[in-house]
Amino acid sequence: MEPCKPNMPLLGDEFPEMKVKTTHGPMNIPKDLKGSWFVLFSHPADFTPVCTTEFYGFQKRYEEFRKLGAKLIGMSIDQVFSHIKWVEWIRDNLKMEIEFPIVAANDEIALKLGMLHPGKGTNTVRAVFIVDPESKVRLILYYPQEIGRNMDEIVRALKALQISDKQGAMPANWPDNELIQDQVIVPPASSVKDAAERPKKYKCYDWWFCYKPLEK
């Protein structure tokens, strides 16, 4: 049998189907999550310092993700019993109850998502996939083993994606952009007439750079 080759999904692709074992029982991802945003993040291994700080950080923002209609899912190559023991350790020693499921992945799943860290055996990179209610991959972040993720950035990106779907593009560092603060960039003009009308309808630096207030 030929070894599986990495075939990670690209932005806009449907998240690949996978039947997995988790600390909350078996799941079929993304089928079981259809109609909901979800954030799936992988970690290199249980019982490691950086991963422990990350799980603590994700759980601390669990309610924020829930209010945004998004579900959290952790993942590593470790088996379910290892995940359970690690979750117990976090509860007993750090006084934090991990409420989201943790997937026990295998090499095939990790390769499907391009998560195996080159040159580091079966360890998985710190990958983050934000997936929309239609099971489409909307954002992918990859971090090396040595650097923990910024959970606030993941929350920010999720909020920005949800708003941009309805209102327009989001500027750098939103909602604290240096030029337009939390306002939304108006989509590009589609005609000469539209371009001429832009400065009459919106605040603009030029016809191609117009913005409007964020709709609450």
Active site positions, annotated: 51
Residue with tokens 């078996």: 26
The DSSP letter of residue 124 is B
| Nearest CA-CA partner of 130 in 177, 105, 164 | 164
**Which pair of structure tokens corresponds to residue 67?**
């209010």
* Alpha helix ranges (H) inside the chain: 49-60, 62-67, 80-94, 107-112, 151-167, 192-201
Cα–Cα distance, 149 to 154 (Å, whole number): 9
Find all residues with CB under 8 Å of 131, minimum gap 6, and list them: 15, 30, 33, 37, 38, 39, 40, 137, 138
In this structure, how many other beta carbons lie within 10 angstroms of the beta carbon of residue 124? 24
